[in-house]
Amino acid sequence: MSFEVVASSRVERVTYTPWQHVLIVGLQMGFALVLLALIGILGLFNKRPIIVGELTLGYAAIGLMFLMAGIMVAKKRLFATAGELVLGGAIAGGLAACILSALTLIISLYNLRWIFVALDPLLLKMLTFTFSTATGIGLMILTGVIVGALGAVMLVLPDRAARPLIYGLAAAGVAGLFQEVIRPIFANSRVTLPLHNLLYTWTGLTLQGAIVIFLVAAGLTLLWQAYGGQVKERYHALPAPTRKRIRWGYIALAIVLFTLFPAFAGNFIGQVLLMVALFTLMGMGLNLEVGLAGLLDLGFVAFYAVGAYVTGLLTADSPFAIAHLSFWVAMPIAVACSVLTGILFGIPVLKVRGDYLAVATLGLGEIVRVIVLSDAAAPLLAGAKGILQIPRPEIGNYVFTTPVSLFYLAFAASLIAAYCAWRLEDSRLGRAWKAIRDDEDVAQALGINLVKVKLLAYGMGAAFAGLAGSLFAVMLGSIYPHSFQLIISINILALIIVGGMGSLPGVVVGAAVLIGLPEMLREFGEFRFLFYGLAIILVMRLKPEGLWPSAARRREMQLDAEALAEQQAAATAPGETTSLQKA
């Protein structure tokens, strides 16, 4: 007996009744909260205050899940009346709270720490609001019902009323979550110190400060809703040259503020922004290979390592140094060596495509790490000992010693690299890269030299990575083999996916989201890769083209969406059927 699956153009959709949807949403949010508790995220989040003495990040995460339950119920608009929508949101939030409360009851009755280490007394104390188990469970369910109903109300309310509420809550949440970034800026200046004392204590955001920030953000939103339309009309009525000058003025102001920001924020923010700048540099290089040329390279960290090691060998005050050059002489040599390595790496994989290309480049990248760690190369590359005492860059008598000064150096390098990448994108070479990305056979038929174009992609991408590696070496003052593992290549690829394939602004956004945010929330570092995976899943589901996609990518996704809509419309035509024929 054989089975044949007959393909059909009809798209089957699973439909639920309104109350079934409420049940599913409540179960999803409830089990998500249980998972966060089991792996320790809720307990860890509870140590981070949002409003001192009033709200922690752990309770904020629970409330956000309840709020999302109400929003997801109301978003479908399956109920006929607003009252039913609010009731559905309340039931979904309450159901999620019931599932989390069931875990609370189990923790109170049984010691499960021999299976789940995170289920400790501190978590039980958190989930019961420091009350008895029965009282805490009742409060949790009541909170779920109220917050779930509030989530539905936020979608039921008119836009004019909902937006101030949403923006006010978001502003207060950001001010509390990133207080370690905001407080030093206000506290380091006599002009802004009174504002710091109004909003913050030296331990965090106060309840008074949260209320003030909420009211200011909500008030500004109301003002924009009242007068924003008039502002837009007057702006569009201006002559085109005037509008262009205004846009460039805003861009220049933003660049000036961003440039001055690290100087006022301090060394911690300078260090975070320095890491963002380094990964932005590498992201621009990999974007040339993956985003433009379609060459998936998982060994990209090898070029980063070459740039760092060449800089160290040419500048370090170490027995392994082969010269004692200045950084400004060693850096171009390091970039040139990275370019040569990229070309040499590209030669063996010229005929490889798709997933096989990823595996091949992964192997080539690991070759560099193995060579550096080997005993044979230890007399030259120092092996696991690493290369120490790499001097910082100097200009005259000024030495780039602080993270802020090194950030400005990396920022200048990123601007130069961004300009080069922008010019390459629409050049003849850039169009050739896009052609081989879309179809190598057609590109070759049009006269494009695949060997030359691919090797140029590998070489140019490696140049960006070599520059980042050179800066990385002087940033740390020492380099070790464990700093150049496969995960670096995966991080760079992830930020390109999140930001948007083929988009230079997307690279910056992806680096800020996947590198900057985890660096500022370093106490949650053990869950960094979990957040990475979650961010990629959310982007693929909600914004598959990326957070800041290129114009071409946006058009492609729009055409795909229109084609899918036409297919679904055709599938619902009378007479169309689906079947699974068995013979």
pLDDT digits (tens, 9 = 90+) for 207-220: 999 999 999 999 99
Query: Average pLDDT of the chain?
Result: 86
Task: Dig out the tokens for 567 from the structure.
Answer: 């297919």
pLDDT at 141 over 90: yes
Predicted confidence band at 280 (pLDDT cuts at 50, 70, 90)?
Answer: very high
Residue found by looking up tokens 């922690």 in the block? 56
Residue 135's contacts (CB-CB under 8 Å, 6 or more residues apart) are 128, 129
Look up residue 360 and give its amino acid.
A
Task: Rank 3-12, 284-293, 523-532 by mean pLDDT and report only the highest.
Answer: 284-293
Task: Rank 202-206, 365-369, 432-436, 542-546 by mean pLDDT and report only the highest.
Answer: 432-436
Q: Could you give the count of Cα atoms lying within 13 Å of 286 in the half-sphere of its Cβ?
A: 36
Distance CA(354)–CA(271), nearest Å, equals: 37
CATH 1.10.3470 intervals, the chain: 267-548
Least Cα distance to 125 among 59, 49, 65, 29 occurs for: 59
The average pLDDT across 251-276 equals 84
pLDDT at 558 over 70: no
Distance CA(311)–CA(436), nearest Å, equals: 34
**C-alpha distances in angstroms, 81 versus 69, 85, 88, 462?**
18, 7, 11, 59
Asked if 316 and 388 count as a contact pair (C-beta separation under 8 A), the reply is yes
Residue found by looking up tokens 């009323």 in the block? 161
pLDDT at 326 over 50: yes
Distance CA(489)–CA(303), nearest Å, equals: 10
- pLDDT recorded at residue 106: 94
Predicted confidence band at 1 (pLDDT cuts at 50, 70, 90)?
Answer: very low
**C-alpha distances in angstroms, 395 versus 310, 400, 506?**
21, 8, 32
- pLDDT recorded at residue 145: 96
Between 9 and 342, residue with greater pLDDT: 342
Running DSSP on this structure, what letter comes out for residue 9?
Answer: S
Between 521 and 17, residue with greater pLDDT: 17
pLDDT at 425 over 50: yes
- pLDDT recorded at residue 137: 95
Task: Rank 253-257, 528-532, 560-564 by mean pLDDT and report only the highest.
Answer: 253-257
- pLDDT recorded at residue 26: 94
pLDDT at 574 over 70: no
Predicted confidence band at 517 (pLDDT cuts at 50, 70, 90)?
Answer: confident
The average pLDDT across 520-525 equals 72
Continuous H helices in 47-120: 57-75, 82-109
The average pLDDT across 126-132 equals 93
Which helix (H) or strand (E) segment is 163 a member of? helix 159-177
Predicted confidence band at 581 (pLDDT cuts at 50, 70, 90)?
Answer: very low
- Tell me the backbone φ, ψ of residue 113, rounded to 5 degrees: -70, -20
pLDDT at 18 over 80: yes
Predicted confidence band at 63 (pLDDT cuts at 50, 70, 90)?
Answer: very high
Asked if 30 and 98 count as a contact pair (C-beta separation under 8 A), the reply is yes
Which residues does residue 399 pair with via DSSP β-bridges, in sequence order?
Answer: 394
Distance CA(123)–CA(232), nearest Å, equals: 50
- pLDDT recorded at residue 579: 34
The average pLDDT across 17-45 equals 92
Between 132 and 196, residue with greater pLDDT: 132
Which helix (H) or strand (E) segment is 339 a member of? helix 327-346
Q: What is the pLDDT of residues 457-501, one digit of tens each?
A: 999 999 999 999 999 999 988 898 888 888 898 889 888 988 888
Distance CA(103)–CA(62), nearest Å, equals: 14
Distance CA(221)–CA(242), nearest Å, equals: 26
Distance CA(310)–CA(320), nearest Å, equals: 11
Residue 142's contacts (CB-CB under 8 Å, 6 or more residues apart) are none
- Of 25-39, 258-272, 338-352, the one with minimum mean pLDDT is 258-272
Record: fold of 267-548: ABC transporter involved in vitamin B12 uptake, BtuC (1.10.3470)
Residue 130's contacts (CB-CB under 8 Å, 6 or more residues apart) are 136
- pLDDT recorded at residue 542: 78
Task: Dig out the tokens for 450 from the structure.
Answer: 């695949």
pTM for the model stands at 0.83
Q: In percent, how much of the chain has pLDDT > 70? A: 91
Residue found by looking up tokens 């590696």 in the block? 469
Start-to-end Cα distance in the chain? 7
Which helix (H) or strand (E) segment is 49 a member of? strand 49-51
Asked if 486 and 525 count as a contact pair (C-beta separation under 8 A), the reply is no
- pLDDT recorded at residue 569: 66
The average pLDDT across 554-560 equals 67
Task: Dig out the tokens for 429 from the structure.
Answer: 């070479």
Task: Dig out the tokens for 479 from the structure.
Answer: 């380099």
Predicted confidence band at 283 (pLDDT cuts at 50, 70, 90)?
Answer: very high
